Amino acid sequence: MSSTELTLDQRDIRFAAQEWLKIGQLSESEKFAEFDQDTLDLMVQEGIRFAIDVVSPTRSESDREGCRIEDGRVKVPKCLHEPYQQSYELGWASMGVSQEYGGMGAPATLGLIVNEAMNGANLGLSMFFGLTSGAADLIDTYGSDSLKQKYVAKMYQGKFTGTMCLSEPQAGSDVGAGTTSAESVEDGVYKIKGSKCWISSGDSDLGENVIHAVLARVKGAPDGTKGLSLFVVPHTRVNDDGSLGDWNDVTVVSIEDKLGIHASPTAVLNFGENGDCLGWIIGEEGKGISSMFMMMNGARIFTGLIGLSLAGAAYENARTYAYERVQGTNISKIRDPEAPRVTIVEHPAVRLNLINMKAKVEAMRALLYYTVFQLDLELIAKTDEERQKAQNMVDLLTPMCKGWCTEVGLDVVQVGIQVLGGVGYTKDFPMEQLFRDARIAPIYEGTTDIQALDLVGRKMIQNDGILFQQLMEQFSQSIEKHREHPELSEIFKTFEGHCETLYETSLGSQEVLKTRGMEGVALYATPFLMYISSISAGWLLLQQAVVATEKLGQIKTENGVGDLADSSFLKENEDALFYANKLKTTRYFVEAIIPQFEALLAGGRKQNFDALEIVF
């Protein structure tokens, strides 16, 4: 372990996947029959090892070299080429891809775990994998057979990279205001003209070609999102035999000079400057935004994973540094001139920072792993009811994964810098890059405020509020089941109070809607998102705590240990220490962290609407 190299909490990862979610049960289905627990464990270990040994050495170098435009094309840092190729050759960049296209066909949960490591190793590189798979998924799901044959396999194999082109300079997050046009020239083929901006991984020399998924408006289509269609627009045209043809009039105007993710080129692209850019429609006219949202939902979970990945790396670096750095004496001996100097992990303020980091990282991991596990359960569901239940949970939790995890992840990295002190602000340690890279996550793929509006304006009122009701029922069932738990009853009682406050807040929003309209509800939508997300994460941590108490009880019985107050036993038994710590982080999260997010709603409870009335 090192305070400058990538380290992951593999014990918590194994616990969450194997002991809590029990993802090995997926092998009982025909779809994932090959992925028994032993296979999953091996793949997790090898995927993490690859991320640490092959990818992470490029993180700092690629950040400092950055990307550049040369002869109209983007050149990425040289050090990325070899790990890019190996990622596809070994299958780590295409784990969830169907075996039909040469992928592993692995469960989404397994892919998420490995991607946690890959993001922490080098976010700039892993973004290429996520965007390419997302664009290929769109073509594979909605495209014609000829489009699938021409593009999908090569994208999944990394020969072509892919992008998602929504934003335009004059529109920003208002996708429906896009003006990029499409004019039909023959069946399924259109002339594309317009400009797109903020295009992540917008161009590169990693693959032979770049395939853009572009939203454009067919001439005569209505304004707004309903008039948008989706097109495959390759940088270089692909002939029917698979060979590369002529340039497709796609111009890389510039790449952004950004705060972070320097290894990922964020491009401004012009389509059809010379009137010769062709696009092939994906699906039907006017269905572009609904098709794109299939990719965006996955992209939003992937973005939430950035928060976990970088925060997890920051916590491990900060924890190690706290054991390395010697400074001052123990506060209880501060007046003793003979007192020995101690490592900073003994200082209460540092310990408070570390438990905040640790608890939040484990909470993010629980929320993201659980959400993606629902995607796997949806795929293997035996009844429509099971399938819908899993889908409802994914729909409701996705804006929480994206909004809450990116904000909390950024906060954790910031605290990590504080633990390191001055050196955390220097390039000698990875913390400053982790912070710069993490800062984009709350912004792109829909800002935190947009996620909050999606939650309160769509998901919570969808089907007469059934999604929110089902979540509250899940909370209630857990509370009732464990109300008399011999070790966790008090924590569940505290959690019940949070749930009651959440329910009262949701009822209060209905009154605000009547008196102040939707803008009154929207004013405190983001604080509400942060609060309900923390409660949802707390619910999942409590599930983990129940498992931990059972495991700890087994260890005590097997070893004839009655009271774990004897810390010497915990030092000797790593599993016992892990489970004991899980109980502490859960209790701290429920008692100390959830109230931090509840405090954000103070203005809403007072129905303070000054922000809507003040003149700025």
**Residue (of 80, 92, 99, 98) closest to 207 by Cα position:** 80
**Residue (of 396, 440, 438) closest to 533 by Cα position:** 396
Average pLDDT of span 538-563: 93
Phi, psi dihedral angles at 110 (to 5 degrees) = -65, -45
Q: Which helix (H) or strand (E) holds 442?
A: none
SS3 for 160-188 is EEEEEECCCCCCCCCHHHCCCEEEEEECC
Provide DSSP, 212-276: EEEEEEETTPPSSGGGEEEEEEESEEE-TTS-EEEE-SEEEEEE---SS-TTS-EEEEEE-TTS-
Measure the CA–CA gap between 251 and 588, rounded to whole angstroms.
Answer: 52
Sign for the CA dihedral angle at 595, 600, 601, 602 comes to positive
**Residue (of 359, 368, 395) closest to 308 by Cα position:** 368
Q: Which CATH fold would you assign to the domain 161-289? A: Butyryl-CoA Dehydrogenase, subunit A; domain 2 (2.40.110)
| 498 and 481 Cβ atoms separated by less than 8 Å | no
What six digits make up the tokens of 77?
A: 């840092």
| Helix, strand, coil percent values for the chain (each to nearest 5) | 60, 10, 25
DSSP state of 457: I
Q: From the centroid of its chain, how far is CA 250?
A: 30
Mean pLDDT of the chain: 95
In the numeric block, the tokens 């390419």 are attached to 132
| 311 and 413 Cβ atoms separated by less than 8 Å | yes
Phi, psi dihedral angles at 465 (to 5 degrees) = 80, 20
Q: How many CB atoms within 10 Å of residue 516?
A: 15
- The correct CATH number of 10-139 out of 3.30.70.330, 1.10.540.10, 3.40.50.10860, 1.10.3720.10 is 1.10.540.10
Measure the CA–CA gap between 479 and 495, rounded to whole angstroms.
Answer: 8
Average pLDDT of span 151-176: 91
Measure the CA–CA gap between 15 and 12, rounded to whole angstroms.
Answer: 5
Provide DSSP, 561-582: ---TT-HHHHHH-HHHHHHHHH
Q: From the centroid of its chain, how far is CA 469?
A: 25
Task: Give strand pairing partners of 69.
Answer: 74
Domain ranges of the chain: 10-139, 161-289, 461-608
- Say if residue 563's pLDDT is above 80: no
Q: What is the pTM of this model?
A: 0.96
User: In sequence order, which ranges of 381-488 are alpha helices (DSSP H)?
Assistant: 384-420, 431-438, 448-454, 466-482
What six digits make up the tokens of 445?
A: 């793929």
Banded model confidence at residue 566, pLDDT cuts 50, 70, 90: low
**Residue (of 197, 121, 127) closest to 161 by Cα position:** 127
Measure the CA–CA gap between 474 and 478, rounded to whole angstroms.
Answer: 6
DSSP state of 79: G
Torsion on CA atoms 129, 130, 133, 135, rounded to nearest 10 = -120
For β-strands 189-200 and 181-186, DSSP reports them as: antiparallel
In the numeric block, the tokens 């939003």 are attached to 300
Measure the CA–CA gap between 416 and 432, rounded to whole angstroms.
Answer: 9
3-class SS of residue 194: strand
| Residue 613 CA neighbour count, 13 Å, CB half | 6
Q: Where are the beta strands (DSSP E) in 49-136?
A: 68-70, 73-75
| 190 and 279 Cβ atoms separated by less than 8 Å | yes
3-class SS of residue 508: helix
Write the CA distances from 269 to 73, 74, 205, 259, integer angstroms. Answer: 11, 12, 16, 20
Look at residue 356 in the predicted model and tell me its pLDDT.
98
Task: Give strand pairing partners of 215.
Answer: 230
SS3 for 117-166 is HHHHHCHHHHHHHHHHHHHHHHHHHHCCHHHHHHHHHHHHCCCEEEEEEC
Banded model confidence at residue 1, pLDDT cuts 50, 70, 90: low
Banded model confidence at residue 561, pLDDT cuts 50, 70, 90: confident
What six digits make up the tokens of 320?
A: 């190690």
- Say if residue 562's pLDDT is above 90: no
Look at residue 560 in the predicted model and tell me its pLDDT.
85
Look at residue 174 in the predicted model and tell me its pLDDT.
80
Measure the CA–CA gap between 3 and 14, rounded to whole angstroms.
Answer: 22
Measure the CA–CA gap between 46 and 102, rounded to whole angstroms.
Answer: 19
Average pLDDT of span 155-178: 90
What six digits make up the tokens of 430?
A: 């990875």
- Say if residue 474's pLDDT is above 80: yes
- Say if residue 525's pLDDT is above 90: yes
| 183 and 246 Cβ atoms separated by less than 8 Å | no
Banded model confidence at residue 570, pLDDT cuts 50, 70, 90: confident
Look at residue 565 in the predicted model and tell me its pLDDT.
67
Look at residue 173 in the predicted model and tell me its pLDDT.
73
Q: What pLDDT digit, counting tens, does each position of 195-234 carry?
A: 999 999 999 999 999 999 999 999 999 999 999 999 999 9
Q: Which residues are catalytic?
A: 445
- Say if residue 294's pLDDT is above 90: no
**Residue (of 559, 533, 225) closest to 405 by Cα position:** 533
Measure the CA–CA gap between 271 and 249, rounded to whole angstroms.
Answer: 6
Q: What pLDDT digit, counting tens, does each position of 84-129 carry?
A: 999 999 999 999 999 989 999 999 999 999 999 999 999 999 999 9
Banded model confidence at residue 513, pLDDT cuts 50, 70, 90: confident
| 545 and 582 Cβ atoms separated by less than 8 Å | yes
Measure the CA–CA gap between 318 and 312, rounded to whole angstroms.
Answer: 10
What six digits make up the tokens of 361?
A: 């990282």
Look at residue 536 in the predicted model and tell me its pLDDT.
98
For β-strands 181-186 and 209-218, DSSP reports them as: parallel
